[in-house]
Amino acid sequence: MDRWRTFTNLGARWLLPRGMHDVLDARRRRKAMEPSAAQQALLTSNQSLVDAHRGQRCFIVCTGPSIKTQDLTGLATEQVIAVSNFFVHPQYEAIAPAYHCFVPYHPPITEAGWQTWMDEAAAKTGDAKLLMPLCDRERNEQGGRLDQRRRHYFHLSPISDAWSRRDPLGPLPTPQSVSIMALVLAFVMGFERVVLLGVDHDWILSLDAGSHFYEESEHALVRAGYNEKQMSTDLGHAWRSYDRLWLQYREVRRWAEDIGVSVVNATPGGLLDMFPRVRLEDELGRPVSSGDEDKGGK
């Protein structure tokens, strides 16, 4: 039987067209990454998020250094999706984001560092609903730290057609940056206007400077030895990372255009050029939809 399988595989390798190999490889990768039955059952809770904020506006607040130049107090009455380590911001409690988004664990982050960071996140994110990758569920829930928290897990997939599947019960794109994941989920939730803050994406212009609004020592992962810029001296790697990020933003822009969502960038400065620029003060002065007055997502 093993010989026959080996012979069959070799025959397929030499006789099938390259395009067919690509199709079969994609199917195998997709099959290997499919959630288990138990995980699929967990994903059904995401249905409650679909169009939960239809017609409203949200602010996605990231952690770029430009945040230090902005007064964020006006966000207290807005729908806010915070990301990553934003919970160390002194106004986090006052803003009280409705959602907080985390990207997947990845090397060279250590398990010990991640656990410390999750402890801090659980303690400092208030009542925000937590938006997390399905692959990190066991890692993030260790010690029962999230037992009393409202949370949603999402199946993230590197398969290219994840961009065409706008279904939180199915695969969503694996993000190059947490801002991408937050944008995708904002679309799922039906927001019609999405305002970006703190998406500087300009760390390559100053490799020796901090790339966040906070001191690096305020991040548990950094204290545990994680260095986000440890590969920055390899400019080839850096440019490839930027290329992947900009390609994903281009997919996001195309998605937004397809579904009629307006995405604008209220980050002062920075390199992101995919979306129209606005000033935060002007955006906060805009009329809002009737649903925006109530932060019902909380």
Structure tokens at 21: 């190999």
**Alpha-carbon distance 253 to 261, whole Å?**
9
Would you tell me the crossing angle of helices 235-259 and 178-188 to the nearest 10 degrees?
A: 10
Q: What pLDDT, in 10s, does the model give residues 102-140?
A: 989 988 888 999 999 999 999 999 999 999 999 999 999
Evaluate if pTM is beyond 0.85.
no
Q: Where are the alpha helices (DSSP H) in the chain?
A: 2-15, 18-33, 37-43, 92-95, 111-124, 137-140, 178-188, 220-223, 235-259, 280-284
Per-domain boundaries in the chain: 1-33, 37-293
Bridge partners, 152 (sequence order):
131
Q: What pLDDT, in 10s, does the model give residues 2-42?
A: 554 554 554 555 565 666 545 445 555 555 456 677 778 88
Peptide bond into 268 cis (omega under 30): no
Bridge partners, 263 (sequence order):
194
